[in-house]
Structure 1
Amino acid sequence: MAKALSIIFFMFLASGCAVKKDFYATGGSRADGSIDMAYDFKQFEKPVVSLQQAYGVAKSKCAVWGYSDAEAFGGKTQNCFARNGFGDCIAGQVIVKYQCLGNLDTAAAPVSAPGPGAANGLMSKQQYKDSRLKALLNQNLPYDEYMRQFNAIQAE
């Protein structure tokens, strides 16, 4: 009986566990209007992902570049970073490509009406936030640092 229970327990462990995974942007091109969204996985995990969450992140990245929306290309690419002795993938990444939508010429940032402080050179909170985001785009930062600063600005 104990042997049967151990076999059942081992099969339960080997079957994998459902794990919620969040998408994150791994790259993209403003000129091409494309964003690569990805999530990582490990052996025995059964990733549970939200395509709505991926769409939301992709749309916000596209909006920073001046596009109005985003759309998944369809399909996905799976990369394996580590294999075990049997050749099974034990750690990897799944990438879903998104296309930014909208015309950059007509998607210019809306111009706010000058506020009461405009005469003395002061910016509104939104104007200040927009200028910081624009300056952040012009910096050549690693993705992790860019996201840290972007999220800090958005949280203000």
Structure 2
Amino acid sequence: MKPKLLATVGLMALVSCVAVNKELVATGGSRADGTVDLSYEQASYETVKTDPARGLSAARDRCVAWGYKDASPFGGESRQCQVSNQYGCSQWLATIRYQCLGNMASVQAK
């Protein structure tokens, strides 16, 4: 292997091992359905770490503002390719959906 190619492959391997902290941001949801979607973007070479407690807190804040009592993650995440090239997807949008808890109508009636 040529030294330049070897260095490039080594650098790519090193970059792919580094975890990147990402903030979950609100990207959707439905007050009527009691759902909140929080997302982050991920490049194909990134290993992403999110803070589940901060995500739950953000979802809970949105649910409470809508009149619900709490929130809970559905579990798992969905991923959609945002940018693709000849090698596959190079940029993903990962979304975690949360369910608002507590009957909104009973909270508003009180």
Q: Is the 8 A contact 1:66 1:109 kept in 2?
A: no
More strand by share: 2
Match of 1:59 in 2: 60
Asked whether 1:83 is paired with 2:61, we answer: no
Identity of aligned residues (%): 34
Structure 1 counterpart SS, 2:76: coil
Could you report, residue by residue, the CA deviation over 1:57-88 in whole angstroms, capped at 9, with x for unpaired residues?
A: 100000110111101111211000111212x2
Match of 2:99 in 1: 99
CA RMSD of aligned residues (A): 2.1
Q: TM-score, normalised by structure 1?
A: 0.61
Structure 2 counterpart SS, 1:107: helix
Choose from 12, 18, 31 the match for 1:14: 12
Q: Distance in 1 between matches of 2:39 and 2:70?
A: 18
- Residue 45 of structure 1 deviates from its aligned partner by 1.2
Q: TM-score, normalised by structure 2?
A: 0.84
Structure 1: state its 5+ residue gaps: 111-156
Q: Which has the larger radius of gyration?
A: 1
- Corresponding pairs, count: 106
Match of 1:26 in 2: 27
Structure 2: state its 5+ residue gaps: none
Q: Which runs of 4+ in 1 moved over 4 A?
A: none
Could you report, residue by residue, the CA deviation over 1:25-76 in whole angstroms, capped at 9, with x for unpaired residues?
A: 1111111000111111113111111111111110000011011110111121
